[in-house]
Structure 1
Amino acid sequence: MAARQLDEKTMTGLVAEAAAAPSMHNAQPWRFRYLTAERVLLLRADPERAMPRSDPDDRALHIGCGAALFNLRVAAAHAHLCPEVRLLPEPQDPLLLAAVELADEAGRPRDDDLARLHPAIRERRTSRHPFAEKDLPENVRATLQGAAEREGAVLFFPGPWHAETVLDLIRDAESRDALDPETSEDLVRWTRLGPEADTAVDGVPEYAFGPGKREGKAPVRDFAGRRRVADRGTTTFEHSPHLALLSTAGDGPAEWLRAGQALERVLLEATLADLATSLTSHALEDRALRLLTRDPASGTGQVHMVLRLGYGPRGPATPRRPVRDVLEIV
């Protein structure tokens, strides 16, 4: 049987769903190039969207691109394709992060577990609102941990004193930023205030900042900083936030890409479980602080993301660049 052609409409749809992934400050640091003859979609990092202050090693950039790669795998499985992924296929080209062959099923079983996650791609949000003081069921925790494990990562739910240590480290990072205005350069670049928020195609618009925190311990980055945002009130956040730490054994570009895929798999599973989610890497942007977030019992693993999970508003959708700006078909 001849392989079906993947037309421009199909490719546009796949990339649009890939690009719905989260990325640091919603910078969307990816580009795609589809090689029609080979049926291969290349994922490249976009260095113009890197963050030299907050992410000098491009770790968060790789994690965001890994999340987009996972969405692509889900969208491809939903479209009855079998995505075959090679990470970092050309060592001499470090910006080429993945090559994905979009093979037909051709008698091979569809990955139904991937396809099952497809509805969550468009429903997933980052919520910077308060969550209810309500426990997460053990079966939900197990599902999320299993999702991370399937992508070669570990999702760890810290105990009370470890969670308090992580919250302290996040507060330390916030204090550091307040004392050094240069550290906020990336945040200022990628936030959209006033009329710009209504037309933005990237970054974090002011309508997605959420309310200011009056009380509570939930780790929610204040994207407003010292800038005034009209009609933004303050409220009390949860005092016992549910945190989870996502880590891998190693700490290099391949592990960062795996961490991004694991992160998105966890977020999509959480969305299907009706959980609200938010992410913070504030304490992880300083390597010295990042090492202190690890599981104190084992002292192993590299933490790549702190997740906040709970029941509450999912938050608004954030803008995305037009697919024509990130996809080239040749």
Structure 2
Amino acid sequence: MDTGFTVEQLRAAARDAVRAPSMHNTQPWRFRLHDGGIELSVDPRRRLPATDPSGWGARLGCGAALFNLRLSLAVAGTPARVRIRPYPHDPDVVARLVPDLPRRPTPAELSLHAAVPRRFSNRAPFWPDPVPAEARWLLGEAARTEQCWLELVIGVSAVNAFAEIAHSAHRVLGRDPAYRSELAAWARTGPAPDGVPAAAGGPVAEPQDLLPTRGFGTRERAPGRDFEPEPLVAVLGSAGNTAADQVAAGQALQRVLLTATDAGLAASLLSQPIEVPGAREALRLSLGRFGTPQMVLRIGYGQPGWPTPRRDVNEVLDLPVGQA
């Protein structure tokens, strides 16, 4: 009789889980075995008190890691049943996974799993090639599969209106010394297992840029290498804004990103309009949507970029004594 997941299964699934995106690449997760189940928790030591005081970003990142966990286990033929925030007395535990009935992975699961090591944020300018209608539909379907919604911002006037909201939020954040200090602390100019290296940070911002960028990059762009004039902007949202909704949005975000990667698309994340409450509400009203915007994505085609580093999987595992 199956008594639960093994250390080997946990370690294999965690290797995929740590490839998930997280704010400033803080990698705010830990994994452990407990009573035969895999438990995913927020690592309180990796919270961003200035950038993410509510813990929204950490829960979103852990939700993305949870999707990779589910996907990895399913592809291994050992799918899991998931309970979100299983312990009211311990809100840092994001999810508990226990074995479900064994089965073969689906073709969709295999395709998404193959995209895990190829997915990373591409902060460089994209090519002007439009994203075809079929790919746009697939991205929306990916969000719906995880009980979230994806609204595409279509048309010059709509994109310009979004850009105003995004720049306003960016300016608000930039006036906070603690925010600027935290951003600088996670920018990497040398080898490091976390944070955002300058090579992956995109080019230095210029006045003509339509959308704001974080100050991670140090490279001056070549002449004529401006960002695309009409980017495909997508807003990911959830029905509500509870902690469980944020975990669900993280899972939807990762499914959307892997779907984009599988389709040959590149993506980068813009969270500034989400981090500022007034900007988030302005964004929701501009979309005419119920629910809560949880992340903004810029999607398109581009040349290969630079993946951000990850810590060794053993650094994020809490294993039973004698099983390390």
User: TM-score, normalized by length of structure 1?
Assistant: 0.90
Give the whole-Å Cα distance in 2 for the aligned partners of 1:219 and 1:178: 11
Quick one: which of 185, 188, 191 aligns to 1:189?
185
Give the whole-Å Cα distance in 1 for the aligned partners of 2:213 and 2:27: 20
Quick one: which of 56, 79, 82 aligns to 1:82?
79
Give the whole-Å Cα distance in 2 for the aligned partners of 1:121 and 1:10: 17
Contact 1:125-1:314 at 8 Å conserved across structures? no
Contact 2:166-2:211 at 8 Å conserved across structures? no
Give the whole-Å Cα distance in 1 for the aligned partners of 2:13 and 2:141: 26
Instruction: Tell me the equivalent position of 1:63.
Output: 60
Q: Secondary structure at the match of 2:205?
A: strand
Contact 2:6-2:36 at 8 Å conserved across structures? no
Deviations 1:10-68 (A, max 9, x none): 32221010010000000000000113xx4310001111111111111111110000000
Give the whole-Å Cα distance in 2 for the aligned partners of 1:31 and 1:75: 16
Shift of 1:111: 4.7
> Is there any run of 5+ residues in structure 1 with no aligned partner, and where?
none
Structure 1 residue 204 corresponds to structure 2 residue 201: no
Give the whole-Å Cα distance in 2 for the aligned partners of 1:101 and 1:115: 21
Q: Match for 1:316: what amino acid?
A: W
Q: Match for 2:136: what amino acid?
A: R
Q: Match for 2:201: what amino acid?
A: F
Give the whole-Å Cα distance in 1 for the aligned partners of 2:294 and 2:26: 18
Instruction: Tell me the equivalent position of 1:24.
Output: 23
Give the whole-Å Cα distance in 2 for the aligned partners of 1:5 and 1:247: 34
Shift of 1:159: 2.7
Structure 1 residue 54 corresponds to structure 2 residue 51: yes
Q: Match for 1:78: what amino acid?
A: V
Give the whole-Å Cα distance in 2 for the aligned partners of 1:238 and 1:26: 25
Shift of 1:185: 2.4
Contact 1:3-1:104 at 8 Å conserved across structures? no
Q: Match for 1:33: what amino acid?
A: R
Deviations 1:266-325 (A, max 9, x none): 000000000011001012111111111115363422101000000002421111111111
Q: Secondary structure at the match of 2:79?
A: strand
Give the whole-Å Cα distance in 1 for the aligned partners of 2:251 and 2:9: 22
Shift of 1:175: 2.2
Shift of 1:232: 4.3
Q: Match for 1:163: what amino acid?
A: V
Give the whole-Å Cα distance in 1 for the aligned partners of 2:28 and 2:162: 27
Q: Match for 1:185: what amino acid?
A: S
> Is there any run of 5+ residues in structure 2 with no aligned partner, and where?
none
Per mean C-alpha deviation after superposition, the further-off stretch among 248-257 and 173-182 is: 173-182
Quick one: which of 161, 169, 187 aligns to 1:173?
169
User: TM-score, normalized by length of structure 2?
Assistant: 0.91
Contact 1:219-1:308 at 8 Å conserved across structures? no
Give the whole-Å Cα distance in 1 for the aligned partners of 2:82 and 2:107: 17
Q: Secondary structure at the match of 2:129?
A: coil
Contact 1:213-1:237 at 8 Å conserved across structures? no
Provide the alpha-carbon RMSD of the alignment.
1.9
Deviations 1:228-252 (A, max 9, x none): x4x6445411111110000011011
Change (3 A) 1:301 1:155: same
Contact 1:218-1:240 at 8 Å conserved across structures? no
Q: Match for 1:21: what amino acid?
A: A
Give the whole-Å Cα distance in 1 for the aligned partners of 2:93 and 2:197: 29
Change (3 A) 1:251 1:177: closer
